[in-house]
Structure 1
Amino acid sequence: MKLSGSVWIPDWPVTAAEIAGDVDSATPAAVYGKRGILSANSWARREGITEGMRQRSAHSLSPHALLLPADPERESLRFEPVLRALDRHIANVTVVSSGSVLFTAAGAIKAAGSAELLGEEIIGEINDVAGCEALVGFGYGTLATLLAARDNSVVSLAETDSFIGREPLSSLLVAAPSEDSREDLMECLNLLERLGLRRLGEVRQLGRTALTTRFGKIGQLIWALVDGDDVHVAHRQEATPEFSVTRTFEPPLETTEQTVFAAKILADELGEEIVSRSLAGGRLLITASLMNGNELERAWLLDGGSVKDVVDRVRWQLGSWLSSGEDGSSIVRLSLKMSDLLPAGYRPQPLWGGQSVSEHQATKAALRLQSLLGEESIAVPYRVGSRIPSERYRTRAWNEAPDHEDQGELPWPGSIPEPPPCLLHTEPIAVNLLGACGHQLQVSGEGELGCPQGCAAQQPSLLRGRGGDIAITRFAGPWIIEQRWWDHPVRRAYLQVAGAGIGVLVYIENNEWKEEGRYV
C-alpha cells in the first residue's frame, strides 16, 4: 500500500462564498443544504451555529446571520486556484470534492525532503493564492488519509488500524463527495448508532459479510473505508482499456454555454463507448488546450460516470478555466479520458452516489426479460409500512409504481422495534416456547409472560422447533400488537429471543407460538 496525502480546507462551502464576494468575511454566514447547515464561518460558530442545524434554529440563534444555499458550481469554480497552487508541488491531484483532494505522496515528499516540509509548503502556497486556511495529512488508505488531513498529521502504516478504530462513526462522512452520497451514508450510520455502535473499530468487528449483507453497496463502501483500503483507485490484475474522446474547436470556445454544449456531445460519445463494452469507470481526466499554447488538465472521480456526471464535472472545470481572465484562455481543444475501468458488476466499492454503469446495465437486462416473459416475470420488493415485520414489504413488477408508497415512512407507533429480521418466513413456522419448568409459556392480557401450570419460572428458556432446539440466553418483549379490529382482527404478542448466536422473532396468537423470522 502506497503513502497518500490529502489537502482539506475547513468549511469550504462558506469560504468559497466569501472568496466569490457573496458574503463579507466579517459577517456571520453559513451554507445550508437538504439536511440543514453544511458549513459556517467562525463568526457564525461563535453565535452557536453548527453543522447539521436546521435553518430555523440557526436564524433563532443569530437573526442577522446570512444563510446561503449550497452552490456546487461556485465551490468548484473558486477551488480551481487552490488546485493550481497544488500543481506546483504535486504531479497528480484527484478531487474528492471541492475543498478536499487526494494525491500520491511519495514523489512529492522526496522532492520536499519530508512530509512535514511538504505540508508547510502546500499550506503556505494555498494561503498566498486563496487567502484561506488549509490542512494537510498523510496516511495509508483513503479514510486514514482524509482523516489525517483533518488532524494535520502523518499516520504511519502501523498506526492505521488503531487510528481509524478510535474515530466516531460520523468520520466516514469525510469520504462522501456529494450531498446525496452523504445522505446514503448517514442513513446507515444512524442505524448502526441505534444498534449501539459508536466507534469505527466496532464497525470493523462486524465484518465484511455482515455489512454487505445488511447494507449492500453502501455496506461495501463502509467496509472498504474502515478496513483501510484505497477505495478511490480500482485494483485489478488484468490490464483494462482506457477510452478517450477529443474535439478541436474553430472558432475557440469562449463562453460557458459553448463549453456545456461541447461537453454534452463528448460525454455522450464517451458514455456510449463504455456502456457498449460493459465497463464501469473510473477516473475522468479533463484536458483543455488553450489558444495561448498552455494545456490544463484535472482529474475527477466517478463511479460508472453517467452522462450527467461527466457533463457536470466538465462544465464546472471548464467554467473555472474560462473565468481565470488570462489572455488567450479560450479553449481550442478538449479531451475527455476515462480510466480505471473494470467490467460492469465487478467494481465492489463505488465512491459516488447515484446509479452506476452496472446498475444501468441491470436495468436494461430486466426490461429485456420483461419484454420476453411478461411484466410479472420480475418482481421487486417495496416498503409499505406496518407494525408487523412480515407485512412491511410487498412486491411489484419491475418499473411499476408502488401502491401507498408514502406509508412506508410513517412512524407506525407500537410496531416491533427496529431492525427487522434479516430472514422472514413466507409462512410462519410452528414452535414451542418453554420456560425453565419445561412447560409452554403464554402471555396474559396485560402483556406478561407466565406458565399456565402456575410455575414460578416466567422467563423463556428453550425454543423448540422443527430445526432443533435453541437454548435461550436473552430475550426482549413481549410487545402486544392489536390492529384491524374492523376487518380480520390481529392480536398477537411478539418476543425477540436469542441464543447460540441466533436471534429469532416469535409471536403467540390463539395460544400457539409461531416463528416469524430470524436475525442472522
Structure 2
Amino acid sequence: MAGRRTLAVWCPDWPAVAAAADADMSPDQPVAVISANRVVTCSATARAMGVRRGMRKRESQARCPSLHVVTVDAGRDGRYFDPVVAAVAEVIPTVEVLRPGLMVLPAAGAARYFDGEEVAAEKLIDVISACGVESQTGIADELFTSVAAARHGQIVPTGSDAEFLADLPISELGAEPSLSAADRDQLIDLLWRLGVRTMGAFAQLASSDVATRFGSDAVVAHRAARGMPGRAPSGRLSATDVVISHECDPPIDRVDAAAFVGRRLADELHRALMAAAVACTRLTVHATTTGGQQSSRTWRCAEPLTPEATADRIRWQLDGWLSGKAGDRPDSPIVSLRLEPVELVDSGALQFGFRGAGIPGGDGEVADRARRALVRVQGLLGGEAVRVPVRSGGRGTSERITLVPLGDELTPRSDPDAPWPGRVPEPAPSVLLSAPVRVCDMYDEPVQVTRRGVFSAEPTTVIWGSRTWELRWWAGPWPADERWWASPSEQVGTHARAQVLLDDSRALLLRYQQQNWTVEGVYE
C-alpha cells in the first residue's frame, strides 16, 4: 500500500480567501460567503467574532459589524486557486483538484524526491505560503483518509487508515462535499439518530446490512470509514504527442553515422518530453531504407529512459541491422528515422532523492556513480553485456537468481513466492560456483547418493582440485524430486544437495547430479 500513498493539500476557508483576494482586502479582515441568505464559509477572523456556518446573513452582521459579505462565486474560487495549483505542479506535476481549495496528488514521487513524506509535506506548505495562502497537508494510504488527515494536519502511518478514522465523529463522512453524495447529510443524520456517533462505530457494521438498509452512497461511505482501497489521485499528464522524425540526407549506410544521428535525435526527444513534464519508459525506433525496408523495435525499460540510454538503444538496433547476416541486412541505405514514445509516465518517476539511490537498493551518490558507470559499460559492450540479479524462484541457490539486462524490467524467471519443496534451506551461500569435486569415504571410495536419498557411505573427505580436505561436519543429503512426470529418458536421475564443513572452517554447498558432485556455493 505504501506505493500508492496519497498526499492531500487543503487550503482552509478557500471561498472566503478568494473573496478577500478579489476585493484586495487584508487576510485579517472578516469575510463571509453566503448562499440562500446563509453563511456557507467564513474566515478565521469572522469565526473568532462569532460568525458560524449556517448562520443567517443579518445575524452574522449583527455579531460582526465589520463583516465583508459576498455571494458564492465558483468562478472566482477557481480563478484564484489556479496559481496555487500551478505552483504545486512545478514541484509535483500530477495534481488532481477536487475543488478550489483542495487538491490531492501521489505521495510516492514527492517522498522520493524530498527524502521523506514529512519533508515533502512541509515543502508543499512552503510553496503555497509563497503564494500568500495558508494550507494544511495530510498523507494516508487512501484518498478519503488523506483529505481527512489534511483537515487535522496529520500523516497517517501506512496501514493505519481505519485506526485513524475510527475516533473521528460521524459528521466527518460529509465534511468534504467533493467526496460525498448530495444527500450525505441525510445519511449522517440518520446514523446519529441510530446512535452511531463515530466513524469507527459505523465501520463495525456489516457491509451487507449497510447495503440493504441505507443504500448505495452508504456503501461508499462505509468503505471509506473502513479505510478500504479506493481510487488513487487521477491527475492527468499534459497532453503530449511527441514523435521525433528525421530524413537522412545523405542516406546512412554506416553504423558510426547512424549512432551520431541517433544521439542527436535522442537529445531532441528528451527535450520535448521534458517540456511536457513526462518521461518515456517504452520507445519504438523505426528505420526505413530507400528501398522501403523497415526495422522497428520497441524498447521497454523498468526505469525512464535517459538521453544516453535512448541513444544507446538506437545504436544497438541499427548496428544489429546494418551489421547483421547477409540475408538480414538492408539492401539500401537508411533514409529516415523515427522515435515514437509508446508509454509515458509523469516526471515524478525521475525524482530520485537528494540522498537517494540511483539503483534499487543503492545508497546515495556512490550508487548513482556506480549506475552511470554500468550504463557506460553497457553502451560500449551492448545491451546484454551488463546484467543485474533479480530474486527468482527455484530449489537451488543459483536457480533463485535471474540475471536481467540493466535497464530492463526486473522480471524473475520463476515466482519466488511459490512453495518450492526441497529447496536449499537458509542461509544462502555468499559465493556461487560450479566447480567439480569428489566426495570420498574413509577408504577413498567415491560417495554416491542412492535412490533412497541417502549416502552410499559416510563422507570423510572432499577432493577439490589438487587438494584434499577432511570433513568436520556434514548435513544431508536433501533429494530434489524433479521432473518425476517425465519419461525415463528425459529424467535427470538422482539429484540431491548436501552441506559440508571442511577442516579449514569453510562451509560448502554441494550438488549431486548424474553421479557427480559439484561445489554450488561457499558460505563465508
- Please tell me the TM-score bracket, short chain as reference: 0.3 to 0.5
Q: TM-score of the superposition, structure 1-length normalised?
A: 0.43
Task: Return the index of the structure with the highest Cα Rg.
Answer: 2
